[in-house]
């Protein structure tokens, strides 16, 4: 057992050593935030969009959950991107928010798809946590997710390989380090 303790103590000692961070990083951070909006400007409070192009009428919630909002996808836009391949189990939703969760329904029209998964900030971009269910036989897929008030980025994974953003929703304004994605804001007015 002492052998175990030895390696652990030695490893931790090394891992706690300070690391070198570029001194210019602070300036880069401040320059980037100066270019963007202030934290609480109304411009960040994007609202849910109506179903895209009238191609889909969202009329009933799935699983008995209340329908708070709907997002519909009617066309394929955006570029293909490499998405996170997380093995992490789904994380607890909305751990940072204090408000009560709302049931938000996401709907997508993808004729011919065999599987559709909803991925986003709310499930830590897991490729398996939130599979969408076929809502009818016309390529309509839906999933309902409890979301607390806040801003969430998301995208759809089609057949395990193809990624779609949602043209009916705002694009994320801060996806400069990650793949393109859409944004839904819950609780916005």
Partner 1 sequence: MNRQSDAALVRRVLAGDTGAYGELVARYRDRLGRYAMRMLGNEADAEEALQDAFVRGYRSLHRCTEPERFGAWLFAIMVNRCRTLGAQRARRQRTVVHDEGILARAAVADTAERHAWRETIAWALRQITPAHREAFLLKHVEELSYEEMVEVTGASVPALKMRVMRAREELRRLLTEGERV
Residue numbers at the binding site for partner 1 (CB under 8 A): 3-4, 7-8, 10-12, 14-16, 18-22, 25-26, 28-30, 32-34, 36-40, 44, 82-89, 91-93, 95-98, 121, 124-125, 150-151, 174, 177-179
Shortest approach of partner 1 to residue 121 CB, angstroms? 8
What gap in Å lies between CA 129 and CA 112, rounded to an integer? 22
How buried is residue 119: exposed, middle or buried, by Cβ count under 10 Å (0-12/13-18/19+)?
buried
Which residue, 34 or 138, has its beta carbon nearer to partner 1? 34
Task: Give whichever of 46 and 56 is closer to partner 1, judged by the CB atom.
Answer: 46
CA-wise closest residue to 143 among 96, 90, 97, 189: 90
For partner 1, the closer CB: 119 or 142 = 119
* Minimum CB distance to partner 1, residue 12 (Å): 5
| Residue closer to partner 1 (CB basis): 59 or 92 | 92
Smallest gap from Cβ 97 to partner 1, in A, equals: 7
The CB-of-24 to partner 1 minimum distance in angstroms stands at: 10
Cα dihedral: 73, 77, 78, 82 (round 10):
60
Our CB check for partner 1 shows the closer of 4 and 112 to be: 4
User: CB-wise, 139 or 146, nearer to partner 1?
Assistant: 146
Query: Taking the complex as a whole, how short is the minimal distance between the CB of residue 125 and partner 1, in angstroms?
Result: 6
121: β partners: none
Min dist CB 52 to partner 1, Å, is 26
């Amino acid at each position: 057992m002492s052998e175990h303790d030895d390696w652990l103590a030695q490893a931790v000692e090394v891992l706690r050593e300070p690391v070198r961070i570029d001194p210019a990083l602070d300036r880069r951070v401040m320059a980037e935030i100066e270019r963007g909006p202030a934290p609480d400007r109304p411009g960040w409070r994007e609202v849910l969009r109506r179903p895209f192009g009238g191609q889909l009428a969202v009329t009933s919630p799935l699983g008995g959950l209340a329908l708070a909002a709907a997002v519909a996808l009617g066309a394929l836009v955006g570029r293909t991107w490499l998405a996170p391949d997380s093995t992490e189990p789904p994380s607890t939703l909305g751990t940072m928010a204090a408000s009560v969760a709302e049931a938000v329904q996401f709907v997508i029209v993808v004729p011919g798809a065999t599987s559709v998964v909803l991925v986003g900030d709310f499930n830590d971009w897991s490729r398996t946590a939130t599979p969408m269910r076929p809502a009818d036989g016309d390529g309509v897929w839906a999933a309902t997710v409890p979301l607390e008030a806040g801003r969430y980025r998301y995208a759809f994974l089609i057949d395990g390989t193809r990624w779609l953003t949602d043209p009916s929703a705002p694009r994320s304004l801060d996806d400069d380090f990650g793949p393109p994605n859409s944004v839904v804001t819950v609780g916005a007015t």
